[in-house]
Each structure stands twice: as structure tokens, then as C-alpha cells.
Amino acid sequence: MAGGSKLIYLAYVIYVLQVGQGTYSNVYKALDQETGEIVALKKVKFNTSEPESIKFMAREIMILQRLDHPNVLKLIGLATSRMQYSIYLVFDFMQTDLAVIARPEERLTEPQVKCYMHQFLSGLQHCHDRGILHRDIKGSNLLIDKNRMLKIADFGLANFYGPERHQPLTSRVVTLWYRAPELLLGDTEYGVGVDLWSAGCLLAEMFKGIPIMPGRNEIEQLHKIFRLCGTPSEEYWRKLKLSTTFRPPKSYRPSLVETLKNLPPSSLGLLCTLLALDPAFRGSASKALKNQFFITSPLACDLSGLPVIVSEDDEFVQANEQIKYMNSKIRRSRTYMERRKNSTSKSPLEHTVSSKEELTRNAKPETFVPTEDMDSTSSTSSSVNPGEAKDQSPFFLSPFGALDQKLSPKTHHHVNGGEKNVKNLPPLPKSKPNASKKDESKHRPDHFFRSASTIEFRYLKREERLLLEIDD
């Protein structure tokens, strides 16, 4: 799983976690702000400069709108991003998939396999009855929700088919391990048989816990198929109008029953039908549902007898806390902006005079007057007394009050206006001149503001007053 708990605001959904990534889309686990329900967001990748990508996206949406079955993942709606030009398909969130459930460590029992297979073929029949080929059937595309209901998902490669459609289809579909032999041989006039072949591969995989034909490339995949199902006859090549370029160098006899002899005997008949080399012999999903496999003891179990799905984790508890934090942060930001706007509207207009001398001449300094009982450990106890500015050396809150005063490192201005040379104190360090400021007239006034931490306060003898020195 990629991604983290980053929150990104959409039209009405908040990103929480990326849970999947495919060739054409990314899938995110999300929280609906309106209903509080967990949903899945599928971010469709498309390029506006490429008409084909927009065509694929529109076709997937049209197919999902046509399907409505308990064993087919339903499209809830669409979401758009305010920050990105993207479209997100919104689905019910599914906890896991069949590829995770069917593992060699915890093999499924025969009743469990029959239950999953019956749900899958029911959903597949609905797709085929609506004139839709899935063309990417595999374990990771058969999702399972928290109620243990199986649903067919990911119609990114799906397409319409039917006798009225004469346009050739591409053979570059279906994951390699579940790809029918006619697709590997370049057939472009196929039908429901390509999905049924994938269904046969999945049936054997649910019993064994591993894929039965994991080829590394198309040539190896074809040889694995021929070794398991036998060498096609001459009629096969002539009927399907396929090229004989990939004809195997030697003949193989069918070995499916021997290879899968550890599987329940009732499943072998359905497997031989679904994994027939000739797609016409594979039948249909409705015929597969009537196979003896589903009426032979032991029968399919109920949903309650299927493997327990991991209970809802606590990551959405954390996500809710993050949402609350983000909302409070937004509220604080809005409050700050409102206060700043109000203070700006009440504040006087900024100086428009560019001359430093004019600013210095018009500046009205505020005077810092220390108290007699000021403790040396206190930080900044001060009061403003403009009326005594004549008798005291001012501590300018405005940065322009002391710009032209060149103070000696050892000479300080007393509060009473006199000057006294302090010999026992070391000189205060001077601030480093800014090398970039070659022309002093081009300085910006906001560069002269300093915090109180840059001004050093010293307390001398009892008869002496507070000495202030501002760095050059």
C-alpha cells in the first residue's frame, strides 16, 4: 500500500489513504463528509490532449451505470477535485479481495469455494446479459466487503460486445496468467469465452491457493496452456482463423485431470468446461451455474461460513481526529484573517515618503522609563511616558529614531540626558553589515525592525540609570 494519512479536500469527500494503484487508476480509502460513511475513490487517469484516454474514461462510466447487481460493485457517484483536473469514481469501500483470501497458508474449503464461485458467476452472468465483457477477471478484481459479499470490480478494460457490433476488439487485455489462448494468439473477434477462461483459472486457484499457470511471457504462457489442456487440433486453427506461428513444436495430450487430481472430483467437470481450448465449448455463465459442481455435496456454505473479514481498523478513528484538527485549524485561520482584516482597517495609512530623513524627522518616539524597584531578573518592565522625552534619552520603538546616532561602543546615553564613559564593561558586539546593502538609500524600512531579544539591558550601580544601546 502506498501513500499515508494525508487529507486532501474534494467536492464532498476527504482523502485518507491510498490503498491501490493500477495501470490506469489509483484507489483511495476515503470518508464521506456528508454521510460519515467509508467509501473508495478511484482516480481516473486521463489526458485532455489524448482523446482515447477520455474515451476509455467515459466508456467505464457508461458501463458502470448500466450494471446493477448485488455481486457487481456499484458506482455511487462522481467527485471532482478543486485543486486538480481529475475525476474520481465513488464506490462502496470493500475490505479485501479474493487474491488475499485464497492463500496457500489458509486454503478455502469446498463449501467456501462453491459460495465464492456462485457469487462470482452470478455477477458475471449479469455483465454478459447486459452485453459487457469484463476482460480483466482476476482475484484482485473480485472484492469482498465486510458482510463477506463478493463483488466484481474494475471495469477499466471492459467493453461492449454483441452480434450487432462488428468492430474488432483488441487482444491486449486480461492479465497474462488468466488470459485465454485465443487472445494470446491474436484473436480480435472473441466473446464471453475470455471471461469464462479466467473464471476457470480462478476456480483452480481457489482450491490450490496459487495460480495454476504463472507464465513469464506470452510464449511461455501458451506452452503452459498447451501442456495442461493439450495441443489444439487443425480444426481449432482453421475455425478461429488464427496464425499458426505459435503452434507448439510437439503435440501434448491433455493433463488437466492428472495435474489437478488433488482437487475435489466434483470440480473437475466444471474446470474442463471452463478451460476448454475452443471458446465455444466453455458455454456461458448461466450454464456454469447449473453445473453439477454446485448441487453435489457438500453444498455451498452461507455467507456466515466464509472466512472472517478483519474487523474495521482504527485508522478512521485517527482520521476523524485529523479531520477535527483540520477543521479547527481552518476556523483558527479564518478568525486570524478576520482579526487581521479588522486591525488593518483601523490602523493608519502606511508611510508613503521614501526619504529616510523625512521619516526620521516626522517620527514621534516613545520613551522607556524604568522604575526604581526594577529587578535585574525581570524581563521587560516598561511604561510609556512621552511627556518626559526632553529629560530622558529615548528608547525608540520606531526604528527610525536612532538611525543617525553613531554611538561609541563604550559611550552610553543616560536617561537623564548626560553621557558617561563606562570603562568596566566590555564593548557590545556590533551587528554584521549587510554586504548586499551597498546603497543605504535603497534600504527597506522593514529590515530595521528588531525584536526585544536583540537589545541588551544592563543594570549598573544604584546611582546609575538603565543604559540602552542599540547596535549600529
Look up the CATH number of the domain holding residue 19: 3.30.200.20
In the chain, which residues have pLDDT < 50?
A: 1-9, 11, 314, 349-356, 359, 364-420, 435-438, 440-472
C-alpha cell at 82: 478543486
Which residues, in sequence order, are CB contacts of 149 under 8 Å at separation 6+? 70, 71, 119, 303
C-alpha cell at 71: 455481486
The answer to whether position 314 is within a domain reads no
The answer to whether position 253 is within a domain reads yes
420 known member of a binding site: no
The answer to whether position 337 is within a domain reads no
Domain that holds residue 64: 13-93
Which alpha helices (DSSP H) does 295-454 contain, by range? 315-346, 356-362
Tell me the CATH number at 245: 1.10.510.10
> What local confidence, expressed as pLDDT, does residue 327 receive?
66
Q: Quote the CA–CA distance of 205 and 211 in Å, as a whole number.
A: 5
| Contact by Cβ (8 Å): 137, 198 | yes
Question: Among residues 273, 305, 337, which one ends one of the domains?
Answer: 305
Grid-cell match 563606562, residue found: 422
- Tell me if residue 219 falls in helix, strand or coil: helix
> What local confidence, expressed as pLDDT, does residue 324 receive?
63
> What local confidence, expressed as pLDDT, does residue 255 receive?
92
Do 261 and 283 lie in a common domain? yes
Residue 186, sorted as left (phi over 0), alpha (psi -120 to 50) or beta, turns out to be left
The answer to whether position 326 is within a domain reads no
Do 87 and 120 lie in a common domain? no
Question: Among residues 239, 273, 305, which one ends one of the domains?
Answer: 305
Q: Quote the CA–CA distance of 267 and 255 in Å, as a whole number.
A: 15
Do 138 and 252 lie in a common domain? yes
pTM for this one?
Answer: 0.65
Do 161 and 30 lie in a common domain? no
Q: Quote the CA–CA distance of 154 and 134 in Å, as a whole number.
A: 8
The answer to whether position 330 is within a domain reads no
DSSP code of 336? H
> What local confidence, expressed as pLDDT, does residue 325 receive?
57
Number of domains the chain contains: 3
> What local confidence, expressed as pLDDT, does residue 415 receive?
46
Q: Long-range pairs for 106-110 at CB < 8 Å and ≥24 separation?
A: 106/307, 107/207, 107/208, 107/209, 108/206, 108/207, 108/307, 109/301, 110/207, 110/264, 110/266, 110/267, 110/298
Q: Quote the CA–CA distance of 430 and 433 in Å, as a whole number.
A: 9
Q: How many residues does the chain have?
A: 472
Question: Among residues 34, 67, 93, which one ends one of the domains?
Answer: 93
Which residues have a catalytic role annotated? 136
Do 47 and 182 lie in a common domain? no
Do 104 and 86 lie in a common domain? no
Do 159 and 280 lie in a common domain? yes
The answer to whether position 328 is within a domain reads no
Q: Quote the CA–CA distance of 408 and 394 in Å, as a whole number.
A: 17
C-alpha cell at 304: 456466515
DSSP code of 351? P
Do 446 and 368 lie in a common domain? yes
Do 87 and 190 lie in a common domain? no
Do 418 and 464 lie in a common domain? yes
> What local confidence, expressed as pLDDT, does residue 165 receive?
80
Q: Quote the CA–CA distance of 362 and 460 in Å, as a whole number.
A: 33
Nearest Cα neighbor of 198 from 187, 213, 217 is: 213
The answer to whether position 335 is within a domain reads no
Do 28 and 169 lie in a common domain? no
Do 419 and 396 lie in a common domain? yes
The answer to whether position 338 is within a domain reads no
